[in-house]
Amino acid sequence: NNNNNNNNNNATTSDGNSTTPPPPVHADMVSTPYFLNAVKHLFSKEGPARAFVLMRNPMERAMSMYEYQRETMGLNVSLEDYAHGDGIENNWMVRFLTNAMEGELKLDHVTQAKKILSKKFLVGFLDDIEESIVRLMKYNGWEFEVGGKEEYQQECIAEKLRSHVGREHDLPKKGTQTHAYLSWQTQYDFKLYEFAKQLFEIQTKQYGSKERKKEMKRKKKEMEKEKEKKSS
């Protein structure tokens, strides 16, 4: 009897609650700032994943986190005190990629983070979000549905982008103590950020939009012309 078999296989506690583990959950996408934890606990050779990251100017990110903590977590310190170390995340990107959440960072950590970024990630940028979405869709083999739904889906994406892309913040002026503190707290993240820009250009050939590929070819021709002028 199939019903009896099902009952035997699904053990219950005295209060009638099932103790059978729930079936695994399959998701198209998982969003998390904790890449290494996700790799360790969510994915395996049997259930692999492809990683992508949306990069942001590290100083702008620090400013955004400051405003977020003030508005939602009751942070009550000046920007200068925050940048000096009262709540700021020191070089977050490098730390979370290399699992060096505590202690002093060194240039070796930046080198390691660059290797991980280049080998494991498709790179995108918040300030180039539409191009980044095009690349993300190509990267994962996602396509718009046919049959009149494409326009709706494009508008849906556009609306989500408008509501979720962080607002710009006024950065402290160069030469101020606050700017110096923020620069120091994000110095290694800036090195990774500049490397990510180079990686973004490299990935254009495989994942870039048609418009961006044309732009890259045009820039390449212009650079070749400039070299010819200098050599002649």
The pLDDT, as a whole number, for residue 77 is: 95
Any bridge partners for residue 124, and if so which?
A: 54
The pLDDT, as a whole number, for residue 10 is: 45
Of the candidates 122, 131, 132, 134, the one whose C-alpha atom is nearest the C-alpha of residue 51 is: 122
Total length of the chain:
232
For every one of its 232 residues, what pLDDT tens digit does the chain have, with 9 covering 90 and above? 434 444 444 444 445 555 566 666 667 778 887 777 777 777 777 777 889 999 999 999 999 999 999 999 999 999 999 999 998 999 999 999 999 999 999 999 999 999 999 999 999 998 898 899 999 999 988 888 777 777 888 788 878 777 766 667 788 999 999 999 999 999 999 999 999 999 999 999 999 999 999 999 999 999 998 888 888 7
The pLDDT, as a whole number, for residue 155 is: 82
The pLDDT, as a whole number, for residue 26 is: 66
Q: Distance (Å, rounded) from C-alpha 154 to C-alpha 143?
A: 11
Q: Which helix or strand (DSSP H or E) is residue 81 part of?
A: helix 79-84
Q: Residues 220, 228: contact at Cβ < 8 Å?
A: no
Q: Which helix or strand (DSSP H or E) is residue 162 part of?
A: helix 150-164
Residues 1-28: tens digit of each pLDDT = 434 444 444 444 445 555 566 666 667 7
Of the candidates 134, 121, 132, 86, the one whose C-alpha atom is nearest the C-alpha of residue 192 is: 121
CA 144 to chain centre: 23
DSSP secondary structure letter of residue 54: E
Q: Distance (Å, rounded) from C-alpha 197 to C-alpha 34?
A: 22
Q: Distance (Å, rounded) from C-alpha 136 to C-alpha 211?
A: 16
The pLDDT, as a whole number, for residue 28 is: 74
Residues 134-173: tens digit of each pLDDT = 999 999 888 887 777 778 887 888 787 777 666 677 889 9
